[in-house]
Amino acid sequence: MLCWNCATTPERNEAVCSCCGADLAGEQDTCAEAPGQVLASDDTEGLAGFEDGSLGAYRILSKLGQGAMGTIWLAQADSRSPQVAIKVLRAGGANEEALRRFEREANALAQLVHPNVVPVHDFFFEQGFFCIVMEYLKGGSFQQFLGGTGTLSARRAMSVGMQVGRGLAVAAAAGVVHRDIKPGNLLLGSHGEVRIADFGIAKLSSSRTQLTHQGEFIGTPCYMPPEQWSDCRSVDQRSDLYALGCSLFHLLCGRPPFPGRTPLELMEEHLLVPAPDLRVLRPEISGDLAGVVRRLMAKDPEQRFQTGDALADELARLRNNDSRRFRLAAGC
């Protein structure tokens, strides 16, 4: 069972998610496997029909993780090829039109090449599953790295914001909005770089399941901008910047900005409650950085940074000022 809100795996019998505080009362009392667990012979969840342990041309090695929309498997084409991560999404009763759309959109994702975006190497449809083959990033996600409640230093958080801002800007230029920016979708590369995972997956998933119908939403409630709650088709890169603001708040404070424990409570908070000041939890953070995070979380998209590049430029300026102050104080 995964938390309905942040898609982490709660402890057995936990009534409240220890990562985001969501109310889990009444949820099923079973746990998904820990990331990286070796594939057991009866482990067919999300993989029914692949009894021979292969997915397309790839041999499955282990399960890396499970999200709300699919399962991630570690796999390899052959022993000389690099290991890859394959996201497997249940396609339901996908018709010809859905398959064409999947191909079109996965193709667009494969064109999205940037140092801050997880590269998509390949994609295919097999036995009722959409499969997206990505680069395998050993560092995992920030959600895993911080264990839900850990925190980053201000400097590291600024670097994360800059890198994600650059990645979002390039995606926006290619007409791609993420729709589900959150610590679980920010992965750590082998050189410490930050790479955004799951570009376009929220949209692919919604077109598969028709989630955009009345009363449903796509995205993750803790980080979702006001405009995405009312109409998830009316989003643009400023919506991703709002979700990035909520994610940076989480990375700096060890929890998401709003305490709501149900989707309804969170919707009200994102729509109506002013974003909290992160300095209540981290008083040592500068007013400038707290101001950047607050601006990202503005209810009105017009009041936010308008592009990922504008955010990255501002964070670069703050970091340079910080470095200059540090050098002056040290007398260099």
Ligand X SMILES: Nc1ncnc2c1ncn2[C@@H]1O[C@H](COP(=O)(O)OP(=O)(O)OP(=O)(O)O)[C@@H](O)[C@H]1O
User: Angle at CA 234, nearest 5°, toward 125 and 24?
Assistant: 70
Q: Would you give the DSSP letter of residue 126? A: E
The residue within the footprint of Mg ion, chosen from 22, 70, 73, 198 (CB under 5 A), is 198
The residue within the footprint of ligand X, chosen from 105, 198, 240, 314 (CB under 6 A), is 198
Residue 253 touches which of ligand X, Mg ion, none (Cβ within 5-8 Å per kind) = none
Burial grade of 48 (CB within 10 A; 0-12, 13-18, 19 or more): exposed
Determine, following the binding rule CB under 6 A, whether residue 137 of this chain makes contact with ligand X: yes
> 199 vs 249, which CB is nearer to Mg ion?
199
Cβ 134 to ligand X shortest distance, Å: 4
Determine, following the binding rule CB under 6 A, whether residue 187 of this chain makes contact with ligand X: yes
**Phi-psi domain of 40 (left: phi exceeds 0; alpha: psi -120 through 50; beta: other):** beta
Q: How far apart are the first and last CA of the chain?
A: 55
Residue 33 touches which of ligand X, Mg ion, none (Cβ within 5-8 Å per kind) = none
The residue within the footprint of Mg ion, chosen from 185, 206, 220, 237 (CB under 5 A), is 185
Cα distances (angstroms) measured from residue 51 to each of 45, 77, 127 = 11, 17, 12
- What is the per-residue binding string for ligand X in 59-98, x denoting contact by CB under 6 A? -----xxxxxxx-x------------x-------------
Q: What is the 3-state secondary structure (H, E, C) of 164-220?
A: HHHHHHHHHHCCCCCCCCCHHHEEECCCCCEEECCCCHHHHHHHHHCCCCCCCCCCC
Q: With the CA atoms of 33, 36, 40 and 45 taken in that order, what torsion angle do they form, in degrees rounded to the nearest 10? A: 50
- What is the per-residue binding string for ligand X in 219-238, x denoting contact by CB under 6 A? -x------------------
How many Å separate Cα 220 from the centre of its chain?
9
Cβ 160 to ligand X shortest distance, Å: 15
What residues act catalytically? 180
> 65 vs 256, which CB is nearer to ligand X?
65
Determine, following the binding rule CB under 6 A, whether residue 275 of this chain makes contact with ligand X: no
Residues that bind ligand X (CB under 6 A): 7, 35, 64-70, 72, 85, 118, 134-137, 140-141, 143-144, 180, 184-185, 187, 197-198, 220
Residues that bind Mg ion (CB under 5 A): 67, 185, 198
